[in-house]
Amino acid sequence: MGYSIVFHSLGLGLLLQLTFDQEYVLTPKTSRNVRIAEELGLPMKKVEVCPGRVVAVITWVGSRPELKSVVLNSHTDVVPVYEGHWKYDPFAAVKDADGNIYGRGSQDMKCVTIQYIEAIRRLKAAGKRFSRTIHLTFVPDEEVGGHKGMETFVKLPEFHKLNIGFALDEGLANPTNAYTVFYGERNPWWITVRCPGSPGHGSRFVENTAAEKLQRVINSFLEFREKEKHRLNISECFTLGDVTTVNMTMVKGGMAYNVVPAEMDVSFDLRIPPTVNLQEFEEKIKAWCKEAGEDVTYDFAQKHMDQNFTCTEESDPWWHAFSSTCKAMNMTVKKEIFPAATDSRFIREEGLPAIGFSPMNLTPILLHDHNEYLNEQVFLRGIQVYERLVPALASVPPLSGEE
């Protein structure tokens, strides 16, 4: 059983149909991928990164194909819905009287996928050609961690053959008139702290219990949580991406009312900005554990150590092309660290610059939420934005080492 999403771009003749299987991952419907590539008059390649997981790459070769390329990346999967909470069928792309188009993926990130395609279509129709090659990459699996998508793709020779200089990927909506641009992401650390203790009968004052140690561990993590929350609240320029968030997400231990347990464990989800010294931060965690008890240990279920972020100095030719285009279109741009995780982190881990940008201003952030929508005016304006951005990026003069 598949779900179907259809977007009509209102008099622009755009119709894009993407079908999702039960895991909400794009099924390799060759006919549709091929149709879009054929309509654009561009070749398409498919790379099966894992069994049943296909990355599609549509390529517009530049006049100087030896130069590094520009990648327009989008993921093809969406998250599930609670259908009862939606005003309209979340897979019918209903437009209301205000021009708001409702649909799962309308913000995350069908809008951007279609805007890329439409911008390329218009530029081609206008007879344009640029020095740098442009690749449109359509990647599965982002919403479930990217393991069977971008994380694997970046390790394959097919990825390296793309000869990437710069990548655009998804961002977030901004409720104000400004556009948010993401140049880095926080590192997720998922940690479990194990507190052993003396077991015994529940009727006595057992010394050195697991519960006392657990309490000290929780106190240390949550005191730090409060400090970070305070730092965010008192700062005018900080956003969520600039501080470390801490949440206690799991507690395990105990077997009966009258048995003092031999171990209790607690797990935390930490998200750490790239500006934090990760070695020092881990020392801090070590110290909290030691204070809680000599035998308290910890281990990681996930520990990302990538501190790459993309240069946003005006001297950087890619950033300059991006930001000067925005300026020329009177767009206000706000630079931020992405608070969660996207496929951009895998691209940056390869040492490549990537900017997270979804041109959605004046729009509430509704990704993964009920009643996700995007207004048609914002959507159509986004196509114009890419019509200017893509030429600027694909015309960045040869960099040192490229000639």
- Cα distance between residue 345 and residue 48, in whole Å: 21
Q: Smallest distance from the beta carbon of 365 to Zn ion, in angstroms?
A: 12
Is 143 annotated in a binding site? The answer is: yes
151 catalytic? Reply is no
Amino acid in position 40: L
336 catalytic? Reply is no
Q: Which is nearer to Zn ion, 181 or 321 (CB)?
A: 181
Q: Smallest distance from the beta carbon of 82 to Zn ion, in angstroms?
A: 18
Cα angle 278, 271, 176; round to 5: 125
Beta bridge partners of 267: 192, 250
DSSP 8-state class, residue 26: B
Q: Which is nearer to Zn ion, 108 or 118 (CB)?
A: 108
Q: Smallest distance from the beta carbon of 401 to Zn ion, in angstroms?
A: 33
Q: Which is nearer to Zn ion, 106 or 323 (CB)?
A: 106
Beta bridge partners of 375: 100
Cα R_g (the chain), whole angstroms: 24
- Cα distance between residue 226 and residue 270, in whole Å: 13
DSSP 201-250: ETTS--SS-HHHHHHHHHHHHHHHHHHHHHHHHH-SS--GGGS-EEEEEE
Point out the catalytic residue in the list 118, 141, 142, 387.
142
Is 343 annotated in a binding site? The answer is: no
Q: Which is nearer to Zn ion, 116 or 298 (CB)?
A: 116
Residues that bind Zn ion (CB under 5 A): 108-109, 170
On the CB side of 295, CA atoms within 13 Å amount to 12
Is 108 annotated in a binding site? The answer is: yes
Point out the catalytic residue in the list 23, 39, 48, 77.
77
Is 403 annotated in a binding site? The answer is: no
Is 201 annotated in a binding site? The answer is: no
Q: Which is nearer to Zn ion, 108 or 387 (CB)?
A: 108
Q: Say if residues 113 and 372 touch (Cβ distance below 8 Å).
A: no
DSSP 264-313: EEEEEEEEE-TTS-HHHHHHHHHHHHHHH-TT-EEEEEEE----------
How do strand 69-75 and strand 164-169 relate by DSSP bridges? parallel
Active site residues: 77, 142
Q: Which residues are annotated as a binding site for Zn(2+)?
A: 75, 108, 143, 170, 368
